Amino acid sequence: MTLDRFYPIFDSADWIARMLPLGIKLVQLRMKNQPDDVLRNHVRRAKKECAKFGCTLVVNDYWQIAIDEGCDFIHLGQEDLDIADMAQIRAANLRVGLSTHDDDELERALSFDPAYVALGPVYPTIFKKMKWTEQGLDRVTDWKKRVGKTPLVGIGGMSVERAAGVFDAGADIVSAVTDITLNADPEGRVQQWLDATR
């Protein structure tokens, strides 16, 4: 299954419900530090919205809830990978996208035959504190050579204006977070993203 080239990340089902009518076809729900019942509620609602609009939902981190709620795609960071039950995840036929930041992490990620590999941050990011400085476009090109047919997601400091360069460097998919949610006109920004990636 081919994944869409535009991959926004939102921290609530509210954002997802608001943005999907614009034509998003691949989205991640990334919520942190919430009680289980709240997480379940958002996963459930996001799944329903995605089904309605023919969009692929990726649940960040909470693989057990994703399995319970009948989702089929999760994203794991390297720390998540340390504690995730990969056998159970495989048994549930979940597709898995994985974050990578250095050579060891890439090698580890590829050993799981992921649905995609994310490289970040490509540019400096305000989204979360990271121990890695920006990777740069040369790293994107290098990663793409190494992952081969596995889709490569560029993430971190992404904007519509930077997207073309990241695609040119070899990324198959570009992921955005704050470029949309902190924009004065999020709907207009999503439309610009769709125009730039379709």
Task: Categorize the per-residue pLDDT at 139 as very low, low, confident or very high, splitting at 50, 70 and 90.
Answer: very high
Binned at pLDDT 50, 70 and 90, residue 130 comes out as: low
Residue with tokens 């960040």: 60
Peptide bond into 121 cis (omega under 30): yes
Positive or negative: CA dihedral 127, 63, 26, 16: negative
Please report, for the chain, the start and end positions of each structural domain, with discontinuous segments joined by +.
6-197
pLDDT reading at 133 higher than 80: no
**Non-local CB neighbours of 77 within 8 Å, separated by 6+ positions:** 61, 98, 99
CATH number of 6-197: 3.20.20.70
For all residues of the chain together, what is the average pLDDT? 95
Contact 78, 105 (CB under 8 A): yes
Q: How confident is the model over 136-165, as a mean pLDDT? A: 96
Q: Give residue-wise pLDDT tens across range 44-89.
A: 999 999 999 999 999 999 999 999 999 999 999 999 999 999 999 9
